[in-house]
Amino acid sequence: MKNIAIFASGDGSNAQNIIDFFKSSYSGVEVRLIISNNPMANVLNRAKKAGIPSLIVDRNTFYNSSQTAERLMAENIDLIVLAGFLWKVPENLIKSFPDKIINIHPALLPKFGGKGMFGMNVHKAVVEAKEKQSGISIHFVNEDYDEGRLISQHTCEIAESDTPEIVAGKIHQLEMDYFPKAIFDLLN
C-alpha cells in the first residue's frame, strides 16, 4: 500500500477526484491525510465526508517548525500531492521529501507560472495573451514556484471567443482526466 497526503487551500475538486479514484483498496493507494492552510476551505468538508483525517496548518508552525514533516513521516507518506495549495512549500519539507512532492498547475509551464499565478488569474492571463492552447502541467516541487522538473503536460485548444471561465472549464476537465492517473503512475 502506498500512502499519499493532499495539500489544498480551496474547494478541493481535485482532492475529491483523487479520493474517488483511489477509494477502492484494490487501487493500492490510500489518501491518508489532507492538509490545508485555510480553516474555511471546502476541501476540509470533503475530507470529513470521506473519513480522511485532516490537518490545518498555521503559518508559524508550517514555516518555523518541523511539525508538518514529522506528521507526514509518522503517517508513512510516500507522495505529497499539491492540489490547489496556495502557500509555498518550506525548504525543510522539500528536503525531508526529495522528489516526493508534486504539484498541478493549470497552464503549460514555463508559461503562466510563478507567484500570483493561481486559479482564475492564470486563465485570465492566458486569454489576454491570445494563446491558442493551454493545458495542465504536473511537476515536481522545488524551492521556486512552478519551476520543478516536469512530469507530464496535457493540452486543450482555445478558441478566440473563449472567456477565462470557458478556459477554466476545459482545464478542470483535463485535471479530472489526468491527475489521478499521473499519481498512480508515479507510485508504481
Residues engaged in binding ligand GAR (CB under 6 A): 8, 10-15, 83-84, 104-106, 117-119, 122, 175
Distance CA 11, CA 13 (A): 6
139 annotated active-site: no
Which residue in the list 105, 123, 139, 172 is annotated as catalytic? 105
User: Residue 26 or 39: which CB sits closer to ligand GAR?
Assistant: 39
The packing angle between helices 164-187 and 120-128, to 10°, is: 120
Distance CA 104, CA 153 (A): 10
| β-bridge partners, 154 | 136
Of all residues in the shown chain, the one whose CB is closest to ligand GAR is 84
User: Residue 71 or 172: which CB sits closer to ligand GAR?
Assistant: 172
| β-bridge partners, 102 | 81, 140
CB of 103 to ligand GAR, least distance (A): 7
Distance CA 57, CA 170 (A): 31
3-class secondary-structure state, position 154: strand
CB of 62 to ligand GAR, least distance (A): 17
CB of 175 to ligand GAR, least distance (A): 6
- The set of catalytic residues is 105
